[in-house]
Amino acid sequence: MTYSTVPNGDLALLSAALDEPDSDLPAVFKALSVRNQAIGVLIDRGHAPDEARIELTRRANREGITMNQTAQDILDALTVPAPPSWLEPRCGVITW
């Protein structure tokens, strides 16, 4: 698989995947989706779009992991655990 030199790394990844007959396109699109969602989170936290992409790359390099894993880690940090069952509202009919 070869990568083109283009300003957007996601475009290079997609282009390379389309050039390969055995590429797992659903996995490529999933990875791009995760990256873009993480960039959206970083934008929501105050980064400009270009800065968010750079920040994602910076975090991946600092941690020594892939951009995809870094993006997934950002999204996973947003997941709030379900409240304990005793906090769930009680809905139903009251019988006497």
d(CA 42, CA 44): 5
Mean pLDDT of all residues in 45-50 = 94
d(CA 42, CA 49): 8
User: Is the per-residue pLDDT at 15 higher than 90?
Assistant: no
Q: Taking the chain, what is the end-to-end CA distance rounded to the nearest angstrom?
A: 70
Question: Where does the pLDDT of residue 4 fall: very low under 50, low under 70, confident under 90, or very high at 90 and above?
Answer: very low
Mean pLDDT of all residues in 1-6 = 40
pLDDT at residue number 87: 57
Q: What is the dihedral of CA 16, 69, 79, 45, to 10 degrees?
A: -80
Any residues with CB less than 8 A from the CB of 69 and at least 6 apart, and which?
60
Question: Where does the pLDDT of residue 82 fall: very low under 50, low under 70, confident under 90, or very high at 90 and above?
Answer: low
Any residues with CB less than 8 A from the CB of 53 and at least 6 apart, and which?
9, 39
Indicate left, alpha or beta for 74 from its phi (over 0: left) and psi (-120 to 50: alpha): alpha
